[in-house]
Amino acid sequence: MRITDATLTPLHLTLTHPLKTARGTYATRDGFLIRLRDEDGRVGQGEAMPLPEFGTEPLTMTHTVLRAWLSSLKGQSLEDSIEGIEATLAPSASEELRQRGARIRLIDPGEPVPAAQHGLELALLDLVAQRKGVPLCWLLAEEARQEVLVNALLGAEEPEALARQAREAVDEGYQTLKVKVAGRSLDEDEARVRAVREAVGPRVRLRLDANGGWSEPEANRALDRLGWYDLELVEQPTSPEDLQALWRVQRRAPCIIAADETLATPAAVRTLLTMDLGGGPAVGAVVIKPMVLGGLLPSMVVALRAAHLGMHAFVTSSIDGVVARAGAAHLASALPSGELASGLAVGRLFADEPRDHPYQPHGGLVRLRDMPGLGLNPDYLWDR
């Protein structure tokens, strides 16, 4: 294929209510939409939506790098395959590097730029899949599922409001609910978790996300008390840097502990996947954020390695736009297990979310349609 045009469009997304996490509060999201056109007029779309607190480069860096990459891509001829793209764009990549995942490196910017890599990789994968006439997930795994379980993210602060959101989500068909905890007193968090559990009964899965907001003793105390409400898992209870603390917390926790912010750097991912303090893997699950891991292909490598070690893996967005969430849904459908819900139902948090698109969850599921690539029409989504 020949790339006849490559464009970068700023994306500015607004949340209807600021989302509070123990790491910070988000009211808006900024990034870029990448569009690559081939000689037949097909358009591949990608999205780069950096979140520096979670390990991506800052927005200005995303912009600089993508501008350079896209201008060098324009007019280039690439082979229609992942391997072909890699061979064209990174002819010097060593065999060892390739085995760690086919990563697309045009010009080495000297420092990690995972959001930019994610954006360009997604646009290329969308285009290649379209040219092959297959859904994008087929490039990742032959046995990809057609349905992806997703969790509702409950954003309210007060117990009563949380209980109301929980009931609404369950009425809509969600079977997994997620609540942000930490950054407030344990008494308050217990009241919040109890309100949700009492509102939805014992059958609904309930996961918590502390975003690294507890010290190790606080995490242990919190899990002792909150574990009573029957938790599916807790994301990042303690500081992302202290892997041994995470290991210890998992050893005595009443549920799965999922490492999330810990996966912010390639070095930490390697440590997490290789550390052996005995008694199995460091934690029960890893949260796969493609925007932080630098794309769907590197994400796939991490998820497969985690599965090999007996860890669960599930995908979440970093509160991204539709294009990135579409890619993440294809990744989730290709993971070895689809048992744990993916965090891809955040469209409802945005004020400017396109109303009608194929990745809207229904009944707690995102259903992948049999459309080439991502199946997102660039016109109806963006030129409104």
Q: Judged by CB under 5 A, does residue 320 bind Mg ion? A: no
Q: Which does 62 bind (CB under 5 to 8 A by kind): ligand OSB, Mg ion, none?
A: none
Give the whole-angstrom CA distance, residue 278 versus residue 128.
Answer: 43
> From start to end of the chain, where are the E strands?
3-21, 24-38, 43-48, 147-149, 152-154, 176-180, 205-209, 233-235, 256-259, 285-288, 312-315, 365-367
Q: Is 289 one of the annotated active-site residues of the chain? A: yes
Instruction: Tell me which residues touch ligand OSB (CB under 6 A).
Output: 51, 54, 151, 153, 178, 209, 211, 235, 260, 316-319, 343, 346
Nearest CA-CA partner of 317 in 17, 26, 68: 26
Q: Judged by CB under 5 A, does residue 235 bind Mg ion? A: yes
User: Please, which residue, 86 or 209, has the CB nearer to ligand OSB?
Assistant: 209
In this structure, what DSSP letter does residue 316 have? B
Torsional sign, CA 222, 155, 177, 30: negative
User: Please, which residue, 121 or 260, has the CB nearer to ligand OSB?
Assistant: 260
Q: Which does 262 bind (CB under 5 to 8 A by kind): ligand OSB, Mg ion, none?
A: none
Q: Which does 117 bind (CB under 5 to 8 A by kind): ligand OSB, Mg ion, none?
A: none
Q: Is 74 one of the annotated active-site residues of the chain? A: no
User: Please, which residue, 36 or 162, has the CB nearer to Mg ion?
Assistant: 162
Q: Judged by CB under 5 A, does residue 260 bind Mg ion? A: yes
The residue of the chain with the least Cβ separation from ligand OSB equals 343
Residue 112 token pair: 């990690």
Nearest-approach distance from CB 211 to Mg ion, in angstroms:
6
User: Please, which residue, 43 or 169, has the CB nearer to ligand OSB?
Assistant: 169
Q: Which does 300 bind (CB under 5 to 8 A by kind): ligand OSB, Mg ion, none?
A: none
Give the whole-angstrom CA distance, residue 306 versus residue 148.
Answer: 19
What residues form the annotated binding site for Mg(2+)?
209, 235, 260
Residue window 10-49: x/- pattern of binding to Mg ion, with contact defined by CB under 5 A: ----------------------------------------
Nearest CA-CA partner of 125 in 160, 158, 83, 170: 83
Q: What is the phi/psi pair of residue 148, to 5°?
A: -120, 120
Please say whether the beta carbons of 334 and 140 come within 8 A: yes
Q: Which of residues 193-212 bind Mg ion (CB under 5 A)?
A: 209
Give the whole-angstrom CA distance, residue 182 versus residue 24.
Answer: 12
Looking at the annotation, which residues are catalytic? 180, 289
Chain residues in the site for Mg ion (CB under 5 A): 209, 235, 260
